[in-house]
Every structure is written in structure tokens, then in C-alpha cells.
């Protein structure tokens, strides 16, 4: 069977039968060598992947009990107080107060420490709470509830002005509400 194919190949190519057989056997030998090389490379790659994927296995490292820090409320409060101290150093009084308040919830006894007392005193000295101011609208009667005597409150002279008020983007908190003695004028583009 094999010889018939070689003979037909030799006849088609016009070459002698021995030459065609020699070329075919040389080609087969070359293909076998290449296949062997490629199979060897594939085997090495598979072994490397197997060793890397399965050979190393899952590593489970156990933490040393001496290195583990308990996440107790007192420890959390200590770390919050350290963050508060850092915030106080950069004069971020709001953050400093927030951290101290959180720490107080975690560990109320820590509030008596000298460090916390010193930080709270510093915050009180640095943060000045503005005194309450009166606004022009303090005199305005409350229109959401009817008066007890059944009569509507009289408008004062300051409330009767009909000056146009230009609200930024029709801000409802501006005070230029219709019915308050002023008219709303849309802002100029």
C-alpha cells in the first residue's frame, strides 16, 4: 500500500522511485524530530505549571499570638485619641473633636487622662463660638400659625416695602417670598 503511493508520487513528479522514497523518509525523520522536541517542551511546561499550581500548595501562615493586637474598645479608643492628637497638631479642631468624642464612646475612662484633658482645653481656647446675632427677620410674625386673637398681625413699615429682591437662582431661603411685602424679580442673565 505504501509503495503504491510512492510509485504514484514518483510517476506524477517524473522522478525516480528511489529518490522519492529517500525524500519522503527524510521528511518523516525531520517531522519525528520536531514532534519529539515539541513534545518535550510541552512536557516541561506542563511539569512547571503543575509544580507552580499544585506543588507549592496553599500556604497558611498562622499569626504569632504575640503579634496579634486585640481590637478591644480601649485599643480602638487609644488609636482614635492618637488620630485626634494628630488633628489637633494641624489645627483641625473639628476632626480633633470628632475623634475625641468617638474615643469617649469607646472608653469613657480615658477622658480623664492628662493628654485628653489638655486637648479638650486647647480646643475650647481655640474654637470661638460666635455670639448669636439677630436678623432682620426676627420681627416678622409667624405666618404658619394663625394668631390666637383671630386677627392677622399688622405689618410694620420695614415689612411693607415693595423693593424688588433679586434672588440667586430663585433661592427660597433668600426671604423674597411673595406675600412678605416684596416682589420676586428674576435675576438678569
| Domain spans of the chain, in order of start | 2-53, 73-126
Strands 164-166 and 183-185, sheet pairing: parallel
Q: pLDDT band at residue 155, thresholds of 50, 70 and 90? A: low
Q: What's the burial of 24, exposed, middle or buried (CB within 10 Å: 0-12/13-18/19+)? A: middle
Q: What is the pLDDT of residue 175?
A: 54
What pLDDT shows up at residue 1? 45
Nearest CA among 30, 35, 10 for reference residue 20: 10
Neighbouring-strand partners of residue 185: 166
Q: What is the mean pLDDT of the chain?
A: 75
Tens-place pLDDT, residues 49-63: 888 877 665 566 666
CA 82, chain centre distance (Å): 24
Lowest mean pLDDT among 1-10, 92-101, 170-179: 170-179
Q: Band of the pLDDT at 159, cuts 50, 70, 90?
A: very low
- Higher confidence at residue 16 or residue 185? 16
The predicted model gives 15-36 an average pLDDT of: 90
Strand partners, 184: 165
**pLDDT at residue 184, rounded to an integer:** 46
Model confidence band, residue 45 (pLDDT cutoffs 50, 70, 90): very high
pLDDT of residue 179: 46
Alpha helices in 51-162 (DSSP H): 73-89, 93-106, 114-126
Euclidean distance between CA atoms 25 and 22, whole angstroms: 5
Q: Is the pLDDT assigned to residue 166 strictly greater than 90?
A: no
DSSP state of 135: -
User: Using one digit for the tens of pLDDT, what is the confidence trace for 91-148?
Assistant: 898 999 999 999 999 999 989 999 999 999 988 888 766 666 666 555 555 555 555 5
Q: What is the mean pLDDT of residues 157-169?
A: 52
Amino acid at each position: 500500500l505504501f509503495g503504491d503511493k510512492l510509485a504514484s508520487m514518483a510517476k506524477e513528479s517524473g522522478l525516480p522511485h528511489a529518490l522519492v522514497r529517500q525524500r519522503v523518509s527524510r521528511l518523516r525523520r525531520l517531522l519525528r524530530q520536531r514532534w519529539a522536541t515539541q513534545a518535550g517542551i510541552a512536557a516541561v511546561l506542563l511539569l512547571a505549571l503543575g509544580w507552580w499550581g499544585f506543588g507549592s500548595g496553599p500556604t497558611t501562615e498562622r499569626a504569632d499570638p504575640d503579634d496579634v493586637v486585640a481590637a478591644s474598645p480601649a485599643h480602638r479608643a487609644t488609636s482614635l485619641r492618637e488620630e485626634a492628637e494628630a488633628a489637633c497638631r494641624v489645627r483641625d479642631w473639628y476632626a480633633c473633636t470628632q475623634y475625641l468624642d468617638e474615643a469617649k464612646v469607646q472608653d469613657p475612662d480615658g477622658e480623664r487622662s492628662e493628654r485628653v484633658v489638655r486637648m479638650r482645653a486647647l480646643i475650647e481656647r481655640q474654637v470661638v463660638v460666635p455670639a448669636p446675632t439677630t436678623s432682620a427677620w426676627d420681627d416678622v410674625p409667624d405666618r404658619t400659625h394663625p394668631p390666637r386673637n383671630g386677627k392677622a398681625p399688622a405689618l410694620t413699615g420695614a415689612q411693607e416695602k415693595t423693593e424688588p429682591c433679586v434672588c440667586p437662582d430663585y433661592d427660597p431661603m433668600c426671604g423674597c417670598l411673595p406675600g412678605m411685602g416684596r416682589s420676586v424679580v428674576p435675576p438678569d442673565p
